Amino acid sequence: MTNLAVKEFRQRFAKDFLDILVLRLVQTEPMWGYKIIRKVEKLFEIKIRHGALYPLLNSMEVNGLLKSKQEVQGRRVRKVYEITQKGIQLVDSYHDFLREQLQMLNIKGQETEK
């Protein structure tokens, strides 16, 4: 697979699974919105608009996947997000599903080779 193909796949994955990506990033450490945007840009080379991220964060908080708290840093007040147990369970479910799908594809591929 070429570097360009890998880059395009990573970008498509990040756009299609932004909710899971955000949960996974916040699972590694609590983050505020701007930091999430910068991490996604660095890791996946895509730009996420504030208008796309903040409604997603609010929705995930309403659904109990994230919780937030206000933190003061200097003169700034930041809304820092942390993953909840429900969010962890969702990330684990996606991980299990993807693993099962990849294993199933591998098994089917082996069957067709015989």
Instruction: Answer whether 66's CB lies under 8 Å from 80's CB.
Output: no
| pLDDT for the residue numbered 51 | 93
Share of the chain above pLDDT 90, in %: 59
* Domains of the chain and any CATH numbers: 3-113 (1.10.10.10)
- Judge whether residue 113 has pLDDT over 50: no
Please give the Cα distance from 63 to 55 (Å, whole number).
12
pTM confidence score: 0.78
